[in-house]
Structure 1
Amino acid sequence: MDRLEDRMCNKHDRLLELFCQTEQVCVCQFCTVTDHRSHPIVTLKEEYDMKTAQLGKIEAEVPQMIQERQKNIQEIKETVKRSKADADREIADGAQVLTALMRCIEKCQEDLNQMVKERLKDTEKQAEDLIKELEQEIEDLTNRSSEVRQLSNTKDHLHFLQAFRSLKDPPPTRDCTKVEIRPPFYVGTLRRSLDQLNEKLNMEIKNLRNVAELKRVQQYEVDVTLDPDTAHPRLILSEDGKQVHAGDVVNYLPDNRKRFKQYMHVLTRQSFSSGRFYFEVQAKDRTVWSLGVARESINRVGGIIETPGNGLWILDSNTNGLVFKDNPAVCLPLKAKLQKVGVFVDYDEGLVSFYDVEARVHIYSATGCTFSEPLYPFLSLSHYGGINSPPLIISPAIETD
């Protein structure tokens, strides 16, 4: 044997042919009756076979562990890449917003300067006209004075009396005590201008913020199509799965556990269990509809109270207005009929947001939601909307300027 001394027990000078499982060391026969008397002992071959099996398991696990870490590295790189893209987009959006605000301030300054100049111009015109009028009066009075002086030097009585009779009546003149020009009054002008600027800036900031927010969520747009296996028998879907409208008859369709039996609901084929997603639905010229997201286990047979507690996060439009279905329901202000609705979901953050795409306005957000199963985009019609009403259309997002 090579290096036999390494295979000998240092204490008993005997061959190391056994293994102590308690202290995980090789021992000789004498060790088993002395220091390792109460410890479980096996042969080197038995321990070798056991450790070899463990080593094979470790060897099999290592590539998987390497693959998992490589995947983590790739995910981290993707996160950094997305973060950089988000940062660049934020800088660009910030520059756009600030440029717009600067233009608004410059416009306010131009308006203020124009108003002050116009007031000054009106004052100068008024003064110019008054000066011309007074100069004309001076000229008329000077001529009259010359005539009077010339007549006063006449010694011929007949000529004097004849000339005096033809002497013109004095020209009309202003009362000099009332001649004045009021200078422009600028007190409060700047304050009113700043108040108007503040109002414009607040409106501009709100609009730009809405546009920026809509642009951010639109980048998470997903391509979804309606699932005919979930559609209520009265619903009619387009061939491409992008449109749905209500029919006038109940179709006899294959029964399955996915189909809604009582209400005219339909889900998409695609579901989402993590991350963020966004889709838009055109509801143009249609008054009664509902849309949002539903969890996979939603009741599809009987009636259901449409609330987050029952797995529905939906926006409802009806003849009375716009409502987010909750307990209690949240009535929402609406300035005009919705033409296109955007729905954004952050699964991990528990957020569902709705947007008026045409007006670029945030409508409502449900926060603090708890999602524990896949979510499906959800559309719903009602017979109150009429069978000839326009369809709901899942349409691609048009990037907001």
Structure 2
Amino acid sequence: MASPIVSKKMREEATCAICLLLMAEPVSISCGHSYCRQCITGFLENIRREIPSQTLFYCPHCRAPFQVTSLRPNKQLGSLIEVIKEMHQDMSCEEHGEFLHIFCEDEGQLICWRCERSPQHQGHNTAVIEDVCQGYQEMLQNAVTNLRELEEECTKLKLFTRKQISEWNEKTESQKQKIQSDFKNLQRFLHEEEKSYLWKLEKEKEQTLQRLMGNEATLEQKSQELRRHILELEERCQSSAQKLLQDVKETLRRSSAVKLETPEAHSLEVHTVCSVSELYFDMKKRLQSYQVNVTLDDDTAHRELILSEDRRQVIRGHLRENLGNSSRRFTVLPCVLGCEGFTSGKQYFEVDVGEGTSWSLGVCRENVPRDGVIQSPQSGFWIIRLSAKKGYVALTSPVTSLYLKEKPLVVGVFLDYDVGVVSF
């Protein structure tokens, strides 16, 4: 065994001046100094980020100039590092300098023959490490097996909890759509009741999700704890006998103390329900009492939109030239506004969308930007759309998908200006 002084000197020679650890894949530069391949590569990349044209670099140790092409693998130094690692696997007694080849059962420590004869260990049960290593290795492996079983159970509980979260989201979303559907034709009259039910449902959803996600977070934390214990035990099982037995009893005690508590079960039954009584009147007739005629304003139409003579129809075609420059014209999105504007009261109009495969319709503020691409309530638009890719959507932020049982041929738009409600 090499002397401590020699061992220390060898380790200093094999230490990277950049990361201050034993070199990994050592490479040498033209001045003779060596570094980890990753360290010197990172050193060069940092300099290039600051000075991309840099071709001449300076040794971090002696400041001697070198070029990237001078990097060469140092195989001899690599072999020396492997020898140093093997040497450090052998352990010696800090007090006596003797080889640690005895295990004290009472203290759970590795000792040398002189420690065994000292008063500190007098009367203790001791044994040669080769005689006890196998037994403790089996105990460590049993501990690993137990922890793996706990980890598997934890993983199953995590997957089940995640499934519960997904199922709960689907159920609450389905219930939300049912509530919205029930209120659709009576929205103006039952608006406050609808908001109340949706608020209760959202609170119930948040409360249950919070508990479920708390369970998931607890299980994730326990999973990480189990993995740390498993890695620690596996590293011990694969290390030298001295390292395996070092504080082995304390390690086994800590691993055996790890327990997995099953999270509290939560019901996924939706308690917020709503049944809207049928009202016996013709909603269509009621809406028609507010009906207005809308004609299209050509001064606002995008250059790709072609209006009919009566300005009641519009299609998208080729770019129209020689149009007047109007500050009211949409220049980015293919939009056109109606001539009629509303500042109060209730209005209803219908749009014949026919068999069209792509359209957008709704209401907007008069002062919306004509050169923008954002269409949402925040920017002054209240629109629904049919697109080839996303189907029927409401242009909220984020976009809301609409699930329709039948393909609409005519869409009615109802505006209650005073209440601030747009219904389709």
TM-score when normalising by structure 2: 0.34
Between structures 1 and 2, the one with greater strand share? 1
Question: Which has the higher Rg, Structure 1 or Structure 2?
Answer: 1
Q: Greater relative contact order (Cα 8 A, min sep 6): structure 1 or 2?
A: 1
